Chains A and B, each alone.
Chain A
Amino acid sequence: MSTISDPPSGSFQLSMLINDTRYRSYTFQFIALILLIMAFAYLGYNLLANLQAAGLNISYKFLGEPAGYDINQTLVDYTSQSTHWRAAVVGVLNTLLVAFLGCLMATVIGVFVGVLRLSDNWLVRQIMSIYVEIFRNVPVLIWILIIMAIFIAVLPQPRDFRGEDAAASMVFGAFAFTGRGFYSPAPVFGPGSSVVVAVFLASIAGIFAFRRYAKKALYDRGQLIPTLWPSLAIFFVPSILVFFVMGRPITLDYPSLQGFNFQGGIFMRNSLIALWFALSIYTAAFIAENVRAGILAVSKGQTEAAASLGLRPGRIMNLVVLPQALRVIIPPLISQYLNLTKNSSLAIAVGYMDLTGTLGGITLNQTGRAIEAIFLLMLFYLAISLAISAIMNVYNNSVKLKER
């Protein structure tokens, strides 16, 4: 009594390729594959013909040749005699540096603004939404150039710090904000400083251990141990104690004006800061919206239920709202980090030497190896974004609601 009959077992006809659903998808895929191969063959043929006409070839030998240009902000040793490969590595590190600093600052500002947008205070709410709307709706390139313009037009030049009645002065005698960049004191690690650093790291580990212990005590025995003051004590007391016991091994190297420029200390070039601040405040506007949406996504019933259990507002936030809000906030947050990293390639507009500035900029122009340089450039960004996506997937799986 089966209504499903077997497919007709007649002989195969050519029209079945297009009319029979069993074969049709193979036909389409075959056509697509042929078209794809033809397109690639056509592009490849054009490429070869053009390269031949220009007398070029594809070769990565240029990476081993001396670069011959200077990079003004480097994290590793680099001279103009270093290879193009070395220049690219410097660029990668600079990209990662500004991306890291930017993500950090964008998160701080973004969470701050996002929470304030839900504040009880009407005025604060309005100011924060104006901030979000203005920064979200104007290209980040314009923000980068505006902050760079502040450096050029507003901040004093190092020469203004000279003389008796100088036009500008250092903040606290330690920080100098100049049009060329910011100077701040640098720590100098003398002998015995490793002990201080070790104690400091140990005390940070200690804080985590203590908080874990306090949490366990709360969950197991219901015993409430205060965590804030002990944490602060663990953070400061041992390190400071050891610092003085070892005879102050860490000193500060203050920047000082010598000639027309500052010497010593840590120098952050104006292009780095312009890029860093602009990326941060721009991305923070997006992060603020994510944070707000995440907090709003936790239904009010959750807060009320927690309150009816007798939890205090701080604990409601920490134990009930945030863990649920984070599940909503983190995935878009990570994709904002990814956007920030990709936007850091705008460094080229202010002359910060990230990978786009070295490999995709000067190296490309000097060697004329456009195809190779841009291929490597894309590969790098692709690797970063795939890595971040992988992390995101792992995280998503770990916090996913455990449903049936």
Chain B
Amino acid sequence: MSDTHAHSVAFVRETMLPQQPPPVTEAGVVKWMRENLFKGWFNTLLTVVSLYFIFKIVTGAYPWFANGIWNTSSLAECRDMLDGMTGACFSVLTERWNQLLFGFTYPRDAYWRPTLAFVLLIVAIAPVLYPKAPRNLLYFTAVYPFLAYWLIWGGTLLIPLMVLVGLVAGYFAFKQFERQSFAMGMIAGLVSAVVVIWAGSIVPASMPNVMAIEAVQSRDIGGFMLNMILGTVCVSLSLPLGIMLALGRQSSMPIIKWICIIFIEFIRGVPLITLLFVANVVLAYFFPPGSNIDLVLRVIIMITMFSSAYIAEVIRGGLAALPRGQYEAANSLGLDYAQSMRLIILPQALKISIPGIVNVAVGLFKDTTLVSVISMFDLVGMIRGPILASTEWNGVYWELWGFAVFVFFIVCFSISKYSQWLERQLATDHR
């Protein structure tokens, strides 16, 4: 049939045409720009406005950065050198970096100690954050809090060592009694830890100079170091507390349930600043007369209570999201409450709650700046107080606040990126 057809028409192509490249407007960069930047008049307008906006920012900020001065000792010198040009005076950062990071009374020759503690912190949290890190590092993680305390606060190593010994004793007692029941194990562990620590406290008291390095008072700790200390300590303390509160709130025992509900709702209902006021002026009234509890410790107590209430709510969400069948399956296997929680429920519930917990952690880390309101000198407190009030640097706003924004952004942004990564790692459902 085809040959008859061939005779009836004037021309039939007998070979395939070579493939043509797509039209310029439908390929590559041009297509991408047409679709993403210039699709319709409104989109084009938006693009133009955005470009103008970016242009303004870049041209405004570039000379400020480019003319930045890094090596003067006061703002007046900076102004002299700039001679009317736009330019930043970054020398406030180079001159006061130690105050911004460590506070203004931390002994200068001891800066290596918090720095070392920070480096070791990275080693210590690696096995917690990265499932692939060597598991043996977890032992170091367990020792780290005591080491960090010794490095930052100084004094004799025997104090943190005795506490560590007490906790180890508690752990072995717990292991011993765990087979009877979890509750018995907990009680035995607690009792033996308290007894050992109480009995052992004579040792450092009798030998205050063994393995001692220069002691630093809490009020000398400041700068970004204070934010880091408050952030890490309070997050790690509030996780177990939050889990307990969440379980308590889910409990079928009315009294325990109501204690937890009232605690959580009360804490979530008031701003952190009022709790810090409590730490600053009220909490001392509730300690035994004559005891002089350090302000940093009081602040840690209040911030931990604050964040544990929020973490409890996040974990409660995770517990509620688990299908009922998981609870029933755990019961039908004959597991008791502690076992079913530890082996079945919590691993799943915590996994669901990771994004929420990280949100709370980021929020908490940001909230540590609030301590500057009760006249503690964290990063913000240092900038507002000693540095901006000094005669040399009165008026250097943008460099200092820019630095604060930069530091907090780096930390918080990387935490949230980490949580997204972890979520992908832990995703076991194949969508």
* A interface list, Cβ under 8 A from B: 25, 28-29, 32-33, 36, 43, 46-47, 49-51, 53, 119-124, 127, 133-134, 136-142, 145-146, 149, 152-153, 342-343, 345-346, 348-349, 356, 360, 364, 370-371, 374, 377-378, 381-382, 385-386
The 10 closest A-B pairs by CB, nearest first: A122-B36, A137-B412, A139-B366, A342-B271, A385-B269, A149-B397, A370-B281, A382-B269, A345-B271, A29-B255
Within 8 Å of chain A (Cβ to Cβ): is B96? no
Chain A residues with CB under 8 Å of B220's CB are: none
Instruction: Decide if A50 touches B284 in the complex (CB within 8 Å).
Output: yes
| Given A50-B289, A137-B412, A360-B277, A142 contacting B380 (CB threshold 8 A) | yes
Instruction: Decide if B47 touches A121 in the complex (CB within 8 Å).
Output: yes
Within 8 Å of chain A (Cβ to Cβ): is B409? yes
Within 8 Å of chain A (Cβ to Cβ): is B63? no
Q: How far is the CA of A153 from the CA of B367 in the complex (A)?
A: 26
Instruction: Decide if A349 touches B373 in the complex (CB within 8 Å).
Output: yes
11 inter-chain pairs at a CB distance below 8 angstroms, sorted by A residue, are A50-B286, A120-B36, A123-B36, A123-B37, A124-B46, A137-B366, A137-B416, A145-B383, A149-B397, A348-B273, A364-B277
Number of interface residues of B (CB under 8 A): 57
Main secondary structure of the interface of A (DSSP, over half): helix
Chain A residues with CB under 8 Å of B46's CB are: 119, 121, 123-124
Using CB atoms, name the residue of chain A closest to B414.
A137
Q: Which of A43, A46, A139, A349 has the most CB of B within 10 A?
A: A139
Using CB atoms, name the residue of chain A closest to B227.
A139
Q: How far is the CA of A206 from the CA of B412 in the complex (A)?
A: 49
How far is the CB of A354 from the nearest CB of chain B, in Å? 11
| Given A138-B405, A356-B273, A374-B278, A50 contacting B397 (CB threshold 8 A) | no
Give 18 A-B pairs besides A46-B285, A142-B380 with Cβ atoms closer than 8 angstroms.
A29-B254, A32-B256, A43-B286, A120-B36, A121-B39, A124-B50, A139-B369, A139-B370, A145-B384, A146-B397, A149-B398, A345-B271, A346-B373, A360-B273, A364-B277, A364-B281, A370-B282, A385-B270
Instruction: Decide if B253 touches A139 in the complex (CB within 8 Å).
Output: no
Interface residues of B in 267-296 (CB under 8 A from A): 268-274, 277-278, 281-282, 284-289
Using CB atoms, name the residue of chain A closest to B401.
A146
Chain A residues with CB under 8 Å of B366's CB are: 137-140
Chain A residues with CB under 8 Å of B271's CB are: 342-343, 345, 356, 381
Chain A residues with CB under 8 Å of B369's CB are: 139, 141-142
Q: How far is the CA of A377 from the CA of B370 in the complex (A)?
A: 17
How far is the CB of A233 from the nearest CB of chain B, in Å? 26
Q: How far is the CA of A343 from the CA of B366 in the complex (A)?
A: 12
Chain A residues with CB under 8 Å of B401's CB are: 142, 145-146, 149
Q: How far is the CA of A349 from the CA of B259 in the complex (A)?
A: 34
Instruction: Decide if A46 touches B288 in the complex (CB within 8 Å).
Output: yes
Within 8 Å of chain A (Cβ to Cβ): is B236? no
Instruction: Decide if B289 touches A49 in the complex (CB within 8 Å).
Output: yes
Contact partner, A120, options B39, B255, B284, B413, Cβ 8 Å: B39
Q: How far is the CA of A121 from the CA of B38 in the complex (A)?
A: 8
Instruction: Decide if A121 touches B36 in the complex (CB within 8 Å).
Output: yes
Instruction: Decide if B380 touches A141 in the complex (CB within 8 Å).
Output: yes
Within 8 Å of chain A (Cβ to Cβ): is B53? yes
Q: Would you give the 0/1 interface string for B31-44, flagging 1 where the beta carbon is closer than 8 Å to chain A?
A: 00001110100010
Chain A residues with CB under 8 Å of B284's CB are: 50
Within 8 Å of chain A (Cβ to Cβ): is B408? yes
Q: How far is the CA of A63 from the CA of B408 in the complex (A)?
A: 41
Instruction: Decide if A120 touches B43 in the complex (CB within 8 Å).
Output: yes
Instruction: Decide if A50 touches B285 in the complex (CB within 8 Å).
Output: yes
Instruction: Decide if B255 touches A32 in the complex (CB within 8 Å).
Output: yes
| Given A46-B285, A121-B36, A385-B268, A377 contacting B409 (CB threshold 8 A) | no
Contact partner, B274, options A51, A139, A153, A377, Cβ 8 Å: A377
Using CB atoms, name the residue of chain B closest to A377.
B274
